[in-house]
Amino acid sequence: MSSPNISDTNCPSCGAATPPLLKHSKLAVCAYCNSTLFIEDAQVASAGEKSVLTEIPSILRLGQQFQVGNWIFEPVGRIRYEYGASEGYWDEWWVQLSTGSTKWISNDEGEYVIENEVDFDGEVPAYEQLEIGASIQLLGKDLRVTEINHATCIGIEGQLPEIVNPGDTHRYAHLEGQNSELVTTEYEEDAIFVFEGVWLDPFEIKVA
Ligand SMILES: [Zn+2]
């Protein structure tokens, strides 16, 4: 793989070497002592928090390369979210492509979706206006609201491009079109993020 990594470095808590950190990493979890480390200017600082994820069935594994068609990627981190009031949970994997760029892949009970953040200036319906089953035009697609909920981070692993802490919550909605179109809107304090999703057939995901 091409290497946009910035450095090799050590965990301030236990001294173990961390895996090579990606240029865009802001946070890493030590694989040995599970301490959360903040990364800034290629330096790591211990955040003092510990995060341990219990394993749930997944094809993806941290540090293992996978191939889908001509596309090769390696999971470098993940965030586990619980949805609603303890209704279940799913993983968001941060993956690095062989080209060096990164993407997110969500894994919810055997379903895998590649998510691409859309740079979108148009109007996005406010969370409070959403209703299940309502029709919405977004990104030039005819969509229906299929889920309105909130998510709470319950664990992190590996390295991540953003500071996320267990307990952090955000609200979101899933919108689906008739031809497998998937759009997710994410509502943070003062911003709305829009993601386009593409289903990934788990049988197409092979160890590289
Ligand atoms: Zn450590």
Task: Give DSSP secondary structure letters for 145-159.
Answer: EEEEEEEEEEEEEEE
How many C-beta atoms lie closer than 10 Å to residue 126's C-beta?
10
Tell me how far the alpha carbon of residue 36 lies from the centroid of ligand 1, in angstroms: 8
The answer to whether residue 56 sits within a structural domain is no
CATH code where residue 33 lies: 2.20.28
Tell me how far the alpha carbon of residue 113 lies from the centroid of ligand 1, in angstroms: 31
Give the pLDDT band of residue 166 (cuts 50, 70, 90): confident
Q: Are strands 66-68 and 141-160 parallel, antiparallel or unpaired?
A: unpaired
Tell me how far the alpha carbon of residue 72 lies from the centroid of ligand 1, in angstroms: 29
Q: Are residues 117 and 175 in the same domain?
A: yes
Give the pLDDT band of residue 4 (cuts 50, 70, 90): very low
Tell me how far the alpha carbon of residue 157 lies from the centroid of ligand 1, in angstroms: 12
Beta strands in 57-110, from DSSP E residues, in sequence order: 66-68, 71-83, 89-97, 102-108
The answer to whether residue 61 sits within a structural domain is no
Report the Cα–Cα distance between both ends of the chain, in Å, rounded. Answer: 12
Tell me how far the alpha carbon of residue 169 lies from the centroid of ligand 1, in angstroms: 26
Cα separations in angstroms, 66 against 10, 74, 190, 195: 27, 6, 36, 23
Q: Residue 170, class by beta-carbon neighbours within 10 Å (0-12 exposed, 13-18 middle, 19+ buried)?
A: middle
The sign of the dihedral angle between the CA atoms of 147, 170, 186, 121 is positive
Tell me how far the alpha carbon of residue 76 lies from the centroid of ligand 1, in angstroms: 17
Cα separations in angstroms, 84 against 79, 80, 173, 195: 16, 13, 12, 20
The per-residue pLDDT for 132 is: 97
Q: Is the pTM of this model over 0.85?
A: yes
Is residue 7 scored above 60 in pLDDT? no
CA–CA dist 23, 111 (Å, integer): 29
- Which range of 40-44, 52-56, 81-85 scores highest in mean pLDDT? It is 81-85
Q: Are residues 44 and 74 in the same domain?
A: no
Tell me how far the alpha carbon of residue 17 lies from the centroid of ligand 1, in angstroms: 8
Tell me the mean pLDDT in the region 154-174: 92
Tell me the mean pLDDT in the region 149-165: 93
Q: Which domain holds residue 84?
A: 66-207
Q: Are strands 169-176 and 206-207 parallel, antiparallel or unpaired?
A: unpaired
Query: Which tokens in the block code for residue 64?
Result: 């293992």
Q: Are residues 75 and 129 in the same domain?
A: yes
Q: Are residues 130 and 194 in the same domain?
A: yes
Q: Are residues 109 and 167 in the same domain?
A: yes
Q: Are 75 and 159 in contact (CB under 8 A)?
A: no
Tell me the mean pLDDT in the region 58-74: 94
Q: Are residues 82 and 40 in the same domain?
A: no
Domain count for the chain, please give it.
Answer: 2
The per-residue pLDDT for 2 is: 39
Query: Which tokens in the block code for residue 53?
Result: 């994820």
Q: Are residues 135 and 107 in the same domain?
A: yes
Q: Are residues 110 and 194 in the same domain?
A: yes
Q: Are residues 34 and 80 in the same domain?
A: no
Tell me how far the alpha carbon of residue 82 lies from the centroid of ligand 1, in angstroms: 26
Residues forming beta bridges with residue 72, ordered by sequence position: 67
φ/ψ of residue 203, rounded to 5? -75, -15
What is the percent of the chain where pLDDT is above 70?
A: 96
Tell me how far the alpha carbon of residue 8 lies from the centroid of ligand 1, in angstroms: 14
pLDDT digit string, tens, across residues 79-89: 999 998 888 99
Tell me how far the alpha carbon of residue 29 lies from the centroid of ligand 1, in angstroms: 8
Tell me how far the alpha carbon of residue 37 lies from the centroid of ligand 1, in angstroms: 9
The per-residue pLDDT for 157 is: 93
Is residue 1 scored above 50 in pLDDT? no
Give the pLDDT band of residue 122 (cuts 50, 70, 90): confident
Q: Are residues 104 and 27 in the same domain?
A: no
Tell me how far the alpha carbon of residue 91 lies from the centroid of ligand 1, in angstroms: 23
Q: Are residues 92 and 155 in the same domain?
A: yes
Tell me how far the alpha carbon of residue 30 lies from the centroid of ligand 1, in angstroms: 5
